[in-house]
Structures are given as C-alpha cells and as structure tokens.
Amino acid sequence: MSDDDSNLLRPVGGTEFSWCKAVPVGTGITVLALSLSKPPDISYLQNTLHRFQTSQPILNSYIHFNPTTKSFSYIRRPNPDLQIQPFDLQSTAQILHELQKDPQNDAVTPFQLILEHELNRNSWRDPNDDANVFFASLYYLSEAQWVLALRLHTSVCDRAAAAALLRGLLREMSGGGERERGFEGNGEVSLGIEEIIPKGKANKPFWVRGVDMVGYSLNSFRLSNLEFVEPNSPRQSRVVRLQMNSFHTENLLTGCTSRGIKVCAALAAAGLIAAHSSKKLPQDHKEKYAVVTLTDCRSILEPPLSNNNLGFYHSAILNTHDVTGRDTLWELATKSYKSYANAKNSNKHFTDMSDLNFLMCKAIENPSLTPSSAMRTAFMSVFEDPIIDQTDELQQEICLEDYIGCASAHGVGPSIAVFDTIRGGSLDCTMVYPSPLHSREQIQDLIDRMKNILVDACVSVDV
C-alpha cells in the first residue's frame, strides 16, 4: 500500500519517528495488564475495543514504512479488525513453564510473568512489515485468575493516553459505558507534537543547537551507570515493583509539598543515592548520573489536547547530578527538582526535543556511541507527575485484582524506567529494566535500597 492511499491518516512526526526506530530494537512497547478474578465477556470486550478503534482511528491503524523516503506513516484499516487472542489454560501454562525455566523468575508471580511476556512480544521488529499498532490477548491462568493484556505501539499511546484508555475500558467492563463515555474520541487524529508546540517556544539558535548536541554527546561518556552484568547477550524487558503503604505515601507527598517539589524528584534522588551506595564507594567519592524527566505537554500545546487525544505528547528534559555518599534524600531531591524546573521554565522540553530525538536515533544506529554499547542514555527516567487512580469502585465491580501499565525499555533508554501510580492513597511504582544487561537480583537490591531511603525520609517530614 502506498503512502498516498486514501486511508493515510498522516505521516509520523519527529518524536513519533524516533519511537518507530526504537520499538524494533525493544523500547516503546506499551502494555496494560489486568489481573481479573472472573473472566470478561470476550464478545462484549471485543465490540468495545472496536468502538474505541472507530472513534480513535489511530488505534485502527498500522505503521507503514516507505523504503524510498525512509519515512513512516499511519495508515487506517478499512474497518476495525482487532481480534482478542485467547490463551487457554494449557497454552498459558506452556508459556509460564518456559518463562519459569529462567532461575531469575523463581519468585515472580504468574501475573507479572505474563506482563513481561507481553512487553517482549515485538510485532514491530521488522519495519517492512505493516503491523497494527494495537493488540489484545486474554490469558487463562487458573479457574480463578485471568489476565487481559493490551499491547500498543508507544508512538500512538503514551502513559497519559494509556491511563485514559484504562479508565474508559474499566467503565465499559463495569457496565458504566452508557452513563459515561469519557474515552471515545471524535474520529479525528491529532497532529504530531512538533506541529502544535506554541509559536516561538521551540526556537533555538543554530549555533546553540550545535553546542548542545556536542555537549550531550560528550557528556554521555562521562556519566556513571549501574554496573552492566551481561552487556553482550540479547535483551528483554523485566519488571520490579516498588510499593509503599498509604501512611508512608502520605508522608512522602507531604514532604514534597512542603519543599515545593514533586514526587518525581524524590524518586530520582532515592534512585541516585541507592545507585551510589550499591557500589560500596567511599562516601566522598563523586559520581555523575543522568536523569530524564518526562512531562505531559497536552495542556500547553496549541490547541490544547486532552488525555483522550491518543498519541505521544510527552517531552523529555535530561539533567545530570553529582552524587556522593553524604547526600540526603531531601537535599538531593530539592536540588534535582530545581534543575529540572529551571530547564522547563527555559522551555528546554521544547527546544531540545529534536536534539534528544536525533541522539536517540543515533544511539540505536551506533550502539558504540554509548558505554559498553549498552544503548543506555541515562541512569533513570521518571515522569513529572504520577498517575492518580480513582477507579476503586469500578475495579471492584469487574473483580480487578491488580493491574500494571508500563512500556518496554530494553533497546535504547535508561537502566530503570519508573512508571508511578498512586492507587488508594498508596504509591505503586513499576520499574522496567533491560535484562540481562542488569539482573533481577541487582535491580531488586537497588529498589529495596530506594524504598528504605524513602521510608526513612518519611519518618519526619519537617522542612
């Protein structure tokens, strides 16, 4: 099919192009996994997803690569054709049996193993194949547990859009769809983020852009990383969770508010301190780490968008931080948040967008540009704001026991990608990492250190 076909939605934008390059190597597969204690009505669920595809046509598209122009486009399917792929008890057991052969998976729950399995099902490995952007599967774990997994190309569904999709799906599954259809769109596809940045916000003199590009490139070799366990083997994305109870979460949020910072800064600071301490370095030994902070730009674009506008509308700011063994959580969190806020106030989330996209693509094409050819662009990525989940009643109605939403990160990206949600007043962070570049034992140790640092700091929230 040619790019000028009548079903062409639009060519991909610059940020979307970087995701089209990243997903084939393993970064940018968004998954929503729902653990259910009763089986969903597959027919009703499939009709619901088809309706979503009709009102949100980008969900009913595939990504087409033009080898002549080396460009990508979203092409609309004539009709919604998503089919939920069912895995019966025997098929699911076979998948779990293969995954459990890995000793690192001994203590991992079947639900999380299915999530990781979906994160590594790459339908977009070959850019020449016209693969849909949206897939759904239903796994039969036992007589009392099913897992519904939605898998999407990140270029059409960032974290904010995935959260909106989840809310819309929960309403439909609970029978509330007729009362409140908040997710469905207007049948149109929004432009790429670069085309709706407010006028003048992305301007950067040519010579400044050149200096920044050189700076980003040179600094990458001066940055510290977690130790790489196995840099040469094929990689996959794995997950470790950091969960805090409502008491500690409330104290953490209070501590952030009292200091005029956000929880992302506390998470990043805890990660930096934990990384330094995990290496058992002298306290005064200084290391420089990079943190990428992602911010949802929908509300500040022209025209403004809602979370129901599917696509990738986040931008990134990369900051570096010097860390020693004497740093405390609140001091480092305040310092790191100030660096991020200053950069955002200077519009670096817009002015540096094309630079970071270019470097991301260069790291994919030339892994040797990164330490140990690991394609690690930062130690950690965090989101400026957590997802606030207020769907407890809907979850109870449909017997939703647990859910996780995140994206793969084993191609180009950070060593730890943090997807944080506050559910029922409790912080729940999904940490995605590349394996076996890092081991589950190594990351679990780091997460345990992070949690201890956060909990200890929450004992007292005085400024």
Q: Which of 101-110, 138-147, 434-443 has the lowest mean pLDDT?
A: 101-110
Name 310's Cβ contacts closer than 8 Å, sequence gap at least 6. 56, 58, 59, 156, 157, 161, 165, 185, 190
Kindly report whether the peptide bond that precedes residue 303 is cis, defined as omega within 30 degrees of 0.
yes
Q: What is the pLDDT of residue 431?
A: 98
Q: Which of 1-10, 13-22, 32-41, 206-215 has the lowest mean pLDDT?
A: 206-215
Across residues 152-180, what is the average pLDDT? 87
Query: Comparing 8-173 with 196-458, is the CATH topology the same?
Result: yes
- Quick one: CATH architecture of 196-458? 2-Layer Sandwich (3.30)
pLDDT tens across 111-156, in order? 999 999 999 999 999 999 999 999 999 999 999 999 999 999 999 9
CA 86/CA 210 separation, integer angstroms: 51
The pLDDT confidence band at residue 208, using thresholds 50, 70 and 90, is low
pLDDT tens across 220-258, in order? 668 899 999 999 999 999 999 999 999 999 999 999 999
The pLDDT confidence band at residue 174, using thresholds 50, 70 and 90, is confident
Q: What is the pLDDT of residue 1?
A: 44
**Contact (Cβ atoms closer than 8 angstroms) between residue 355 and residue 217:** no
Give start and end residues of each alpha helix (H) in 174-301.
206-219, 246-259, 263-278
pLDDT tens across 444-458, in order? 999 999 999 999 998
Name the percent of the chain lying above pLDDT 70: 93
Q: What is the pLDDT of residue 463?
A: 46
CA 56/CA 41 separation, integer angstroms: 22
CA 311/CA 73 separation, integer angstroms: 13
Amino acid at site 275:
A
SS3 (DSSP) at 123? coil
Q: For the chain, what are the domain ranges? A: 8-173, 196-458
Let me know if 426 is exposed, middle or buried by CB neighbors in 10 A (0-12, 13-18, 19+).
middle
Q: Which two tokens stand for residue 131?
A: 């693969």
CA 364/CA 361 separation, integer angstroms: 5
- Quick one: CATH architecture of 8-173? 2-Layer Sandwich (3.30)
The pLDDT confidence band at residue 179, using thresholds 50, 70 and 90, is very low
Residue 3 has pLDDT above 50, yes or no: no
Q: What is the pLDDT of residue 6?
A: 73
Strands 134-142 and 85-87 turn out to be parallel
Amino acid at site 80:
P
CA 131/CA 123 separation, integer angstroms: 6
SS3 (DSSP) at 21? helix
Q: What is the pLDDT of residue 222?
A: 81
